[in-house]
Amino acid sequence: MSVSADKVLIDHARKLATQAREPAPHYQHSEIGYNYRLSNVLAAIGRGQLQVLDERVRRKREIFKFYEGTIGDLSGITLMPEAPWGRCTRWLTCITIDPAQFGADRETVRLAL
């Protein structure tokens, strides 16, 4: 879903989502576009998921807080920071491991988990 008050921007996004096809009687593409349109069924499912989005994001942020509290102070582990200009959904928690400080590399951690 794209939302903007800028009609030119929305029109261009709509064009790219329809494979950037030019309004010509033949298939003409002056720029690269994509087929990012959803079927009606997928759009309806997505619309329904918006009703529970706040709860899902709240829970993911709770899980991140748990990780932050349990491994956030470990030497050699850095959790992905939240950008100061936005609010992260924390849908995926990423860490950076410094093997010299932590004492194990990412592959050792992955296999242990």
- Using pLDDT thresholds of 50, 70 and 90, give the confidence band for residue 107: very high
What pLDDT is attached to residue 98?
97
List the structure tokens of 14: 């709509």
Q: What backbone phi and psi angles, to 5 degrees, belong to 64?
A: -60, -40
Q: Does 1 score more than 80 pLDDT? A: no
The whole-chain average pLDDT of the chain stands at 91
- Whole-number percent of the chain with pLDDT over 70: 100
What pLDDT is attached to residue 89?
94
Residue 26 CB-half CA count within 13 A: 2
Q: Does 60 score more than 90 pLDDT? A: yes
- Mark out the alpha helices in the chain (DSSP H runs): 7-17, 40-49, 53-71, 99-102, 106-112
Q: What is the pTM of this model?
A: 0.65
- Using pLDDT thresholds of 50, 70 and 90, give the confidence band for residue 37: confident
What pLDDT is attached to residue 23?
79
Q: What is the mean pLDDT of residues 62-68?
A: 97
